[in-house]
Amino acid sequence: MLISGQAKDEAGEVVRATGAEVIDVYESILDEHDRRGDRSDTIICWALTAMSKLTIRVQGISDRVKEITEGFSDHANVEIQQRSCEYLKIFEAGKWDDAEI
């Protein structure tokens, strides 16, 4: 909704964001939570999943999402590592790059 211009603020004004701005927010969340404990590991998993799903809907972000996701492929938490590697394998297959909504 932010990217398509369907989102509105409290005053009813249209709020827009670019795909890069959305990924910036996810990247800051991931950076912040990578330094914390167990509860943050769940947030990292959610953020990786959300970013991966966005690559279908938002053009021009997949390379950056892949790069960010690669950074978690050797994470200390095995679940985060696994999730990262699984998403990277899906990106390799190229199925999401050409998807049409």
13 in a domain, yes or no?
no
Radius of gyration of the chain (CA): 15
- Percentage of residues of the chain with pLDDT beyond 70: 89
Tokens standing for residue 81: 């590592």
The answer to whether residue 10 sits within a structural domain is no
Grade residue 33 by pLDDT with cuts at 50, 70 and 90: confident
7 domain-assigned: no
Q: How many domains does the chain have?
A: 1
* 59 found inside a domain: yes
Q: What is the pLDDT of residues 44-55, one digit of tens each?
A: 999 999 999 999
- What's the token pair of residue 98? 């050409």
- The answer to whether residue 83 is domain-embedded is yes
Q: Which domain holds residue 65?
A: 18-93
Residue 57 lies inside a defined structural domain of this protein: yes
Q: What is the DSSP secondary structure assignment for residue 95, as one 8-state letter?
A: T
pLDDT tens per residue, range 81-90: 999 999 999 9
